[in-house]
């Protein structure tokens, strides 16, 4: 992705963050460095469209954990836009709001490589792609194979598809999931090294994910 020399570029990383973990933070740092961003904004979803029945921690707890995980890194910030809006969180609404607040910014939506094949199902995807760049990450060492595999599955017009594929970059592979962390807490197993220490303490102090 070719950065502009005059426009400030800020990344957007959305998700349920239930809870935020080290994998999220590694991806965020990779995005900052490899996409040459000046900042990355974490946007916790109120109700993700694809996870409407899976959330366990409250929006307040998820927001607090994100703040704890990012407060010592000035490159990161947390937006409450979707939590304030409430209801099902559509990315287009968030990007619209951020664009209105900061029209001088080039917004870059950061997604996983496998998300590209689902973009055609996203709400108002054409408007979203007009408002922001979409950059996706693939696991190390699999870029050429994965790009060819994904190319035929991106059900968008050719110009859109080729632009998306130009904005694919390689990221560290971190095999951590929020689901695994919730399961480990419920089973009394350690989550040390999987989440920041402040998040681990918050989970235990507030009795989260104990089932």
**Residue 136 CB-density burial (10 A; 0-12 exposed, 13-18 middle, 19+ buried):** buried
**Which range of residues forms the domain containing residue 58?**
8-175
CA distance 143 to 189: 35
**Is 73 domain-assigned?**
yes
User: Is residue 197 in a domain?
Assistant: no
User: Distance between CA atoms of 187 and 85, rounded to whole angstroms?
Assistant: 34
Does residue 200 belong to any structural domain of this protein? no
Supply the pLDDT for residue 62.
97
pLDDT reported for residue 79: 95
CB distance 133 to 109 below 8 Å: yes
Euclidean distance between CA atoms 22 and 181, whole angstroms? 11
Per-residue pLDDT tens listing for the chain (211 residues): 555 557 899 999 999 999 999 999 999 999 999 999 999 999 999 886 655 555 689 999 999 999 999 999 999 999 999 999 988 889 999 999 999 999 999 999 999 888 999 999 999 999 999 999 999 988 665 555 567 778 889 999 999 999 999 999 888 888 899 999 999 999 999 999 999 999 999 999 999 999 7
- What are residue 73's phi and psi, to 5 degrees? -115, 110
Alpha-carbon 199 to chain mean position:
18
- CB atoms closer than 10 angstroms to residue 55: 15
* CA pair distance 158, 1, nearest whole angstrom: 18
Alpha-carbon 8 to chain mean position: 19
Residue 25 parent element (H or E): helix 22-34
Answer yes or no: is 206 within a domain.
no
Is 193 within the bounds of a domain? no
Query: For residue 64, which phi and psi values (nearest 5 degrees)?
Result: -60, -40
Which helix (H) or strand (E) segment holds residue 196: the answer is none
Closest CA to 31 of 114, 177, 163, 138: 138
CATH number at residue 44: 3.40.50.620
Beta strands in 2-159 (DSSP E): 8-15, 39-44, 76-78, 105-112, 133-138
Q: DSSP character for 137?
A: E
202 in a structural domain: no
In a domain, 196, yes or no: no
CA dist 136 and 117 (Å) reads 11
CA–CA separation, 74 and 53 (whole Å):
33
How many independent structural domains does the chain possess? 1
Quote the Cα angle for 107-94-181, to 5°.
95
Tell me which residue has tokens 């929020």.
178
């Amino acid at each position: 992705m070719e950065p502009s020399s005059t426009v400030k570029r800020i990344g957007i990383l959305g998700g349920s963050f239930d809870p935020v973990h080290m994998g999220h933070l590694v991806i965020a740092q990779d995005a900052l460095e490899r996409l040459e961003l000046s900042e990355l904004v974490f946007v916790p979803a109120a109700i993700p469209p694809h996870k409407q029945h899976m959330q366990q921690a409250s929006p307040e707890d998820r927001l607090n954990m994100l703040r704890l995980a990012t407060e010592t890194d000035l490159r990161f910030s947390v937006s409450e836009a979707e939590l304030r809006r409430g209801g099902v969180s559509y990315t287009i609404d968030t990007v619209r709001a951020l664009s209105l607040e900061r029209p001088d910014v080039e917004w870059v939506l950061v997604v996983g490589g496998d998300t590209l094949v689902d973009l055609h199902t996203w709400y108002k995807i054409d408007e979203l792609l007009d408002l922001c760049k979409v950059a996706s990450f693939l696991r190390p060492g699999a870029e050429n194979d994965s790009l060819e595999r994904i190319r035929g599955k991106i059900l968008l017009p050719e110009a859109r598809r080729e632009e998306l594929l130009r904005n694919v970059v390689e990221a560290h592979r971190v095999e951590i999931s929020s689901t695994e962390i919730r399961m480990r807490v419920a089973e009394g197993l350690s989550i040390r090294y999987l989440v920041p220490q402040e998040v681990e303490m918050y989970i235990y102090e507030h009795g989260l994910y104990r089932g």
